[in-house]
């Protein structure tokens, strides 16, 4: 009788000999939010797949200019470099916010969150400025398959950063109102993963879209 090995209730053996137990009947206690980080990480992985598909679409369509402008005519690498440094700086300042959170300093956490939000805001601002310039030149998403896939990929990343900005402001208010409670620390760690993840995606964007685009 092998099933007694998995049966947590030997006393009930007589009744359940015909029904092996394959799971824990009495679930042990879990602290609130104990699985949030892993769950959020899995969300980020699914988000990663969205970006992978958009990268694949750009990889396939990125050369179809339809006699329209090519990356070389549109992309200004100094602007992209500035944008990249904004996102990179926001990553390190978010790290400082996490360090302040670990020390339990509410005010300092909020200040670093605010600085992170400013860098993120300038990133979105520079990106929108770049988009506006391209659209003014007639390089709209409708112009060619290259531009459709470009605006979809880079725009989706920009939307994520904008959502992250909203989240930063929300957490600044939350931390201000309720302090660095366990729940707020967990939220800050989730946003940390989200924010650094967006920076990882941006590495792919500036490499494959901008740098390799200008090279081609």
Partner 1 sequence: MSADAHAGDPAHGHDASPGHSTLRGYLIGFGLSVVLTAVPFWLVMTGVLDSKLATAFVVMALAVVQIVVHMIFFLHMDAKSEGGWSLMALLFTLILVVIALTGSLWVMYHLNANMMPAMHDTSQMP
154, 56 in Cβ contact below 8 A?
no
Question: Pick from 12, 25, 60, 128: which binds partner 1 (CB under 8 A)?
Answer: 60
Q: In the set 25, 45, 132, 173, which binds partner 1 (CB under 8 A)?
A: 45
Identify the residue whose tokens are 């020390």: 103
Q: Which of 35, 73, 129, 142 binds partner 1 (CB under 8 A)?
A: 35
Torsion of CA 53, 135, 76, 86, to 10 degrees: -70
Our CB check for partner 1 shows the closer of 48 and 163 to be 48
Q: HSE-up of 136 (CA within 13 Å, CB side)?
A: 6
Among 81, 128, 163, 166, binds partner 1 (CB under 8 A): 81
- The site that binds partner 1 (CB under 8 A) totals a number of residues, namely 55
66 binds partner 1 (CB under 8 A): no
From first CA to last CA, the distance across the chain in angstroms is: 68
Q: Dig out the tokens for 33 from the structure.
A: 């939010």
- Residue 12 sits in the site that holds partner 1 (CB under 8 A): no
CB of 11 to partner 1, least distance (A): 25
The whole-angstrom separation of Cα 172 and Cα 203 is 27
Any idea which residue has 């992209």 for tokens?
80
Q: How far is the CB of 16 from partner 1 (least distance, A)?
A: 26
Nearer to partner 1, 84 or 110 (CB): 84
Of the candidates 74, 86, 101, 175, which one interacts with partner 1 according to CB under 8 A? 101
For the chain, how big is the Rg over CA atoms in Å? 24
Give min distance, CB of 210 to partner 1, in A.
8
Smallest Cα–Cα separation from 124: which of 153, 163, 73, 67? 163
Query: What's the Cα-to-Cα distance from 103 to each of 170, 185, 195, rounded to whole Å?
Result: 21, 11, 21
Residue 209, interface with partner 1 (CB under 8 A)?
A: no
Interaction site with partner 1 (CB under 8 A)? 30-38, 41-42, 45, 48-49, 52-53, 55-57, 59-60, 77-78, 80-81, 84-85, 88, 91-92, 95-96, 98-99, 101-102, 182, 185-186, 189, 192-193, 196-197, 199-200, 203-204, 206-208, 211-212, 214-215
């Amino acid at each position: 009788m092998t099933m007694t090995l998995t049966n947590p209730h030997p006393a009930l053996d007589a009744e359940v000999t015909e029904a092996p137990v394959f799971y824990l009947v009495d679930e042990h206690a879990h602290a609130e939010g104990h699985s949030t980080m892993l769950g959020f990480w899995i969300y980020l992985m699914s988000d990663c797949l969205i970006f992978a598909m958009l990268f694949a679409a750009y990889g396939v369509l990125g050369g179809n200019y339809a006699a329209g402008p090519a990356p070389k005519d549109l992309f200004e690498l100094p602007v992209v470099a500035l944008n990249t440094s904004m996102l990179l700086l926001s990553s390190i300042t978010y790290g400082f916010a996490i360090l302040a959170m670990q020390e339990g300093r509410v005010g300092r956490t909020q200040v670093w969150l605010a600085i992170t939000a400013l860098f993120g805001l300038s990133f979105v601002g520079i990106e929108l400025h770049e988009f506006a310039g391209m659209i003014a030149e007639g390089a709209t998403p409708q112009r060619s398959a290259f531009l459709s896939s470009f605006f979809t990929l880079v725009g989706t990343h920009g939307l994520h950063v904008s959502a992250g900005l909203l989240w930063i402001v929300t957490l600044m208010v939350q931390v201000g109102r309720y302090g660095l409670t366990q729940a707020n620390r967990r939220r800050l760690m989730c946003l940390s993963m989200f924010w650094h993840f967006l920076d990882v995606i941006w590495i792919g964007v500036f490499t494959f879209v901008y740098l390799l685009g200008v090279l081609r």
